[in-house]
Amino acid sequence: MTDWPATEKLVAQAAGEFGRLDIVVNNAGILRDRMLFSMTEEEFDAVIAVHLKGTFAMIRHACAYWRAEAKRGEGRGGRIINTTSGTGLFGTAGQANYGAAKAGIISLTTIAAMEMAQYGVTVNAISPIALTRMTDGIGVLPAGNPVPDGAPEGFDPQDPANASGVVAYLASDAASWLTGQVLRVDGSRVQRLRGWRAVGEYRSRSGGAVEAEELVTGLPEVYGTAPAGRLPDPVLHGA
């Protein structure tokens, strides 16, 4: 849902009908897959709107509700569970719009968790591996996950329902200690994911700004590989 007034009304309606708002789960999505050089502006905008703006609109109004509650001295906190994707985490060719939106949801989750901690609101994201109606009709799909040894008869590792227990846990009081996290739901496994972190560095020879020429050999060292070459000599213009 990307309609700003409608999401505000939805939050108010839920609080009115149930007495208060406790949990928000964002799971809406569409696909408009296409390679970058063929993707239209409309295809990009539509996916960003549904996934990223839709998620933002819902949690924005929910957070405003919980903040107002806290200021009245009635705050009991809340739970937000967003849905991201392996494409937003690791990338998939042909899904620049979808991946950008899902990566944005991860950042949005992290920041919302920081801002809402003081109000007792936790914000986490799940990344389910699943086949859904959204993936129907896609010609090429990743190879199916193998059924683990000892799994119950009929267990489908790519059933969207496999994420239900994780969502229920994150929505519960038992998960009040956990916020700003992404959990990958892979069949019978729940994986803790860790975001970008420094795993190596190069320091300039001068102690000041790093020069481009230094990185010709310096950066491959950080990656543990051989230099690919040198920067071309600058072209000098004039007499």
Q: Which domains does the chain have, with CATH numbers?
A: 4-192 (3.40.50.720), 200-239 (no CATH)
Burial (0-12, 13-18, 19+ Cβ within 10 Å), 19: exposed
pLDDT tens-digit profile, the chain (239 residues): 688 999 999 999 999 999 999 999 999 999 999 999 999 999 999 999 999 999 999 999 999 999 999 999 998 999 999 999 999 999 999 999 999 999 999 999 999 999 999 999 999 999 999 776 666 555 444 545 566 666 677 778 888 888 999 999 999 999 999 999 999 999 888 999 999 999 999 999 999 999 999 999 999 999 988 777 655 555 555 54
Q: Which two tokens stand for residue 173?
A: 């009081």
| DSSP helix/strand/coil, 228 | coil
Tell me the catalytic residues.
85, 98, 102
pTM: 0.86
| DSSP helix/strand/coil, 11 | helix
Pairing of strands 182-186, 189-192: antiparallel
Category of 29 on φ-ψ map: left (φ > 0), alpha (ψ -120 to 50) or beta: beta
Furthest CA-CA distance within the chain: 81
